[in-house]
Structure 1
Amino acid sequence: MENSRIGAGGGGVAETRCKEIAESAVAGVVCSSLMLSLTHIQQSFVLADPKLPDIPIVHASKVFCEITGYSQEEVIGRNCRFLQGPDTDPEAVQKIRESIAGERACTVRILNYRKDKTSFWNHLHLSPVRSATGEVAFYVGVQLAMDVVDSAGDENVGMTPYMKQLGAVGAVKVAVRSLQGSGLRRSFKKNSEE
């Protein structure tokens, strides 16, 4: 499994940006309203930054941490592939990669692994979150751990979870776009030019 982390001491711009986003409350530089909005979303999701090498997680919801058994500190700075294991379907992984490369949304059912090594079926919806300029600012991945999955793949199973995923994606997009093009950094000092 993938164990590399951006925040694991390599230094540089990528680590700095990741820390700025992940440690917003402490550092006081990330838009506090964004973090507040994200913490109110009662779904399992992660926010990943495509501008950083390996597209690391910069925010993980409390529900995501509960489902996977990892703390936020263990997740921030890592690519989501650390949840993959020996029985993860390479075709599902490829669909995710193609979605990211094409900057489009996708939904897959993928076998993931918790911290304690137990597997779970993850109904994952991945979507780009665009800035006011149309550039992909983040990817949001909304996860639904499917304890009981219909192995026949009945298309009607999961309709309500899918709608929940779309709702969570929408909430994240609204939170990010509410920054009105100011990025994720907001200074608490008054700028005389504003």
Structure 2
Amino acid sequence: FGTPVNQSNRCWTEWFDRDDPSATGDWETLCKLRKENPGKICPTPAAIEAKTLSGLTVAAAGDVIYKNDITSGFICRNKDQINNKKCNDYRVRFSCYPPFCGGGVCWTSWFNRDNPGATGDWEILSELKKQNKICDNPLYVDAVTTDTMTPAIYTGETFYMYNPTDGFVCRNKDQTTGKCSDYKVRFGCPCNN
């Protein structure tokens, strides 16, 4: 039934540098990085690493750092620096757990077979398999909104079905707004060695 995912095998995202040290500092906030890089940062990072563009660690650069955590991201404020010094220009990356970046799991393409019509958004595995090549026993399912790639778990909507065996269903009648967002899904399958 596939290769088990080793939860200790973490991987790193690419480096992100969204801000230059401006009048107030260098702001590499997780919220803005997610908005500008949809789908490139895992929903719950395990760690964050920051370095200057020249490769210095935070400690070696000597700046006073305001925030450097997996919830906020990285913030260096000019007002916190000694002798009116400005912050260095930093880049950040995040450590993620499988299945976000592999670990024996190969992801399918994204599928969007249904729109949230009269009853909701029905991305059912058995229906998707009729028109697409998907492994027999997926290990994971991932659902995001089609417009902003927001992970389903962060939309605040209630899901009728969200598992790798059956797929994903968002019913309009379960939502406080009366309507589901439009979702697309992908499945994590054992990689063929």
TM-score, normalised via structure 1 length: 0.28
Instruction: Compare CA radii of gyration and give the structure with the larger one.
Output: 2
TM-score, normalised via structure 2 length: 0.28
